């Protein structure tokens, strides 16, 4: 069965980015030499699913950071909006979360990195997230793009483990137990 | 100097209560035999400051849970709204956060337990919180009363320590580093 997995950092008050998408508050953390498990996590997935907002933020980076295939969920962008240099690794889709997972399952994917606030929210609502690694950055932003959003009902989680880092980052992993959708 | 201290539990998505103030999701956690540090924290403070919402929620409990003095910030309630049984331990005030702290300082308080989402937010905005013990409950609620709110600027925090419990609760303590207000 194909499963969705979250690996994401938030401020203490739960934002993944400023309203504008900016990640400056995240980048300023002194985390040199720390292994937050990103490489191991990335090695464990077949590829990523993200939304237009995350895609456009990543496009502002100096280099495209992903070697694995990326699926971008957008109702407004088309394949023409993907630069030629990464066109072999980036696919646009207008499918809903379940449709995306079905498509990727058909392509042999087993583990999907689900990234970005809105996309994580929609996958959680549709019962498509198996577990989440949540890293808390020691800062309060007061405003921004929230990781979590409205649900149809409570979602119980099981705490798997928590690791702390000299930088002040704290990563907790949770298994999503029930997801009534 | 008088200082404000937070000791509070939230859902993974950052809520301290459901919209109605209900804490059922918190009460259902199997935490028997676990010491989350509440008694030690309570012993360290001179008393509590809370808002009308927290006060009215606590009033629904079978027993008034606080031995220490409680100051309730409310523009609508008056001293007449406090039941006689606890009138010696509960004071109503219409002062703002700085005014409350000045009043309590004058009464010899040194450490104040600042409780409840809205009150924590206003004390944070006014630079009156020294540290926070935040306990994360392993559940997503999707909606409710948030612990944190809008700020005038970023507030950097320093991670002090994190403890995990068999129930799945995770408590992280943060020192509030800068608070530009």
pLDDT tens per residue across span B19-57: 999 999 998 989 999 999 999 999 999 999 999 999 999
State whether B148 and A174 contact (CB < 8 Å): no
* Cα(B149)–Cα(B139) distance, integer angstroms: 20
Mean pLDDT of chain B: 95
CA distance B181 to chain A (A): 11
More confident residue, A78 or B136: B136
What would the mean pLDDT of B79-103 be, rounded to a whole number?
96
pLDDT tens per residue across span A139-158: 999 999 999 999 999 999 99
Residue B62 has pLDDT above 70, yes or no: yes
pLDDT tens per residue across span A90-113: 999 999 999 999 999 999 999 999
Using CB atoms, pick whichever of A150, A158, A162 lies closest to residue B162: A162
Residue A165 has pLDDT above 80, yes or no: yes
Would you place residue B181 in the very low, low, confident or very high pLDDT band (cuts 50, 70, 90)?
very low
The token pair at A115 is 């990234």
- Buried b / exposed e along A66-79 (16+ C-beta atoms within 10 A): beebbbbbbeebee
Residue B180 has pLDDT above 70, yes or no: no
Would you place residue B8 in the very low, low, confident or very high pLDDT band (cuts 50, 70, 90)?
very high
Taking one residue from A and the other from B, the number of pairs with CB-CB distance under 8 angstroms is 97
In A, minimum Cα distance to B148 occurs at A13
- What is the per-residue pLDDT for B179? 52
CA distance A172 to chain B (A): 8
User: How many Å separate Cα A133 from the centre of its chain?
Assistant: 10
**Sign, CA torsion A91/A96/A99/A100:** positive
DSSP string for chain A: --EEEEEEEEETT-EEE-TT---HHHHTS--TT---SHHHHHHH-SEEEEEHHHHHHHHTSSS---SS-EEEE-SS--GGGS-GGGTTTEEEE---HHHHHHHHHHTT--EEEE-SHHHHHHHHHTT-EEEEEEEEESEE-SSSEES----SS-EEEEEEEEEE-TTS-EEEEEEE-----
DSSP string for B65-107: --SS-EEEE-SS--GGGS-GGGTTTEEEE---HHHHHHHHHHT
Q: Rounded to 10 degrees, what is the CA torsion of B74, B80, B84, B86?
A: 10
Would you place residue B178 in the very low, low, confident or very high pLDDT band (cuts 50, 70, 90)?
confident
State whether A140 and B162 contact (CB < 8 Å): no
State whether A151 and B142 contact (CB < 8 Å): yes
Using CB atoms, pick whichever of B141, B151, B157 lies closest to residue A138: B157
Beta-carbon contacts of residue A54 (< 8 Å; ≥ 6 apart): A115, A116, A119
Return the residue in B123, B142, B161, B181 with the most chain A beta carbons within 10 A, the one to mutate for interface testing. B142
Place of tokens 């609508």: B76
CA distance B106 to chain A (A): 30
Beta-carbon contacts of residue A109 (< 8 Å; ≥ 6 apart): A2, A46, A47
Q: Rounded to 10 degrees, what is the CA torsion of A118, A6, A8, A64?
A: -80
Residue B158 has pLDDT above 50, yes or no: yes
What would the mean pLDDT of B46-72 be, rounded to a whole number?
95
Beta-carbon contacts of residue B5 (< 8 Å; ≥ 6 apart): B41, B44, B45, B111, B112, B113, B114, B129, B130, B131, B132, B133
Q: Is the ipTM of this complex over 0.90?
A: yes
Chain A residues with CB-CB distance to B169 below 8 A: 159
What's the CA angle centered on A166, arms A161 and A170, to 5 degrees?
30
Residue A178 has pLDDT above 80, yes or no: no
What would the mean pLDDT of B104-119 be, rounded to a whole number?
97
CA distance A105 to chain B (A): 27
Chain A residues with CB-CB distance to B124 below 8 A: 140
State whether B148 and A12 contact (CB < 8 Å): yes
- What is the per-residue pLDDT for A153? 94
Mean pLDDT of chain A: 95
Residues forming a β-bridge with A100: none
Residue B159 has pLDDT above 50, yes or no: yes
Instruction: Give SS3 for B43.
Output: helix
pLDDT tens per residue across span A30-75: 999 999 999 999 999 999 999 999 999 999 999 999 999 999 999 9
| Relative orientation angle of helices A97-106 and A117-125, to the nearest 10 degrees | 90
State whether B155 and A139 contact (CB < 8 Å): yes
């Amino acid at each position: 069965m194909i499963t969705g997995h979250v690996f994401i950092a938030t401020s203490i008050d739960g934002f993944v980015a400023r309203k504008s998408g900016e990640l400056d508050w995240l980048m300023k953390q002194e985390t040199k030499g720390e292994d937050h498990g990103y490489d191991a996590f990335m090695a464990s997935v077949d590829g990523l699913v993200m939304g237009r907002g995350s895609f456009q933020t990543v496009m502002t980076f100096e280099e495209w950071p992903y070697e694995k295939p990326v699926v971008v969920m957008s109702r407004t962008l088309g394949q023409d909006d993907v630069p030629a240099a990464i066109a072999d690794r980036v696919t646009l889709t207008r499918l809903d979360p379940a449709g995306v997972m079905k498509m990727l399952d058909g392509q042999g994917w087993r583990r999907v990195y689900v990234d970005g606030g809105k996309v994580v929210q929609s996958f959680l609502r549709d019962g498509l997230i198996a577990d989440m690694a949540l890293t808390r950055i020691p800062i309060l932003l007061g405003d921004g793009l929230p990781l979590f959003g409205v649900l149809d009902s409570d979602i119980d989680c099981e705490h798997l483990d928590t690791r702390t880092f000299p930088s002040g980052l704290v990563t907790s992993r949770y298994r999503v137990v029930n997801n009534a959708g």
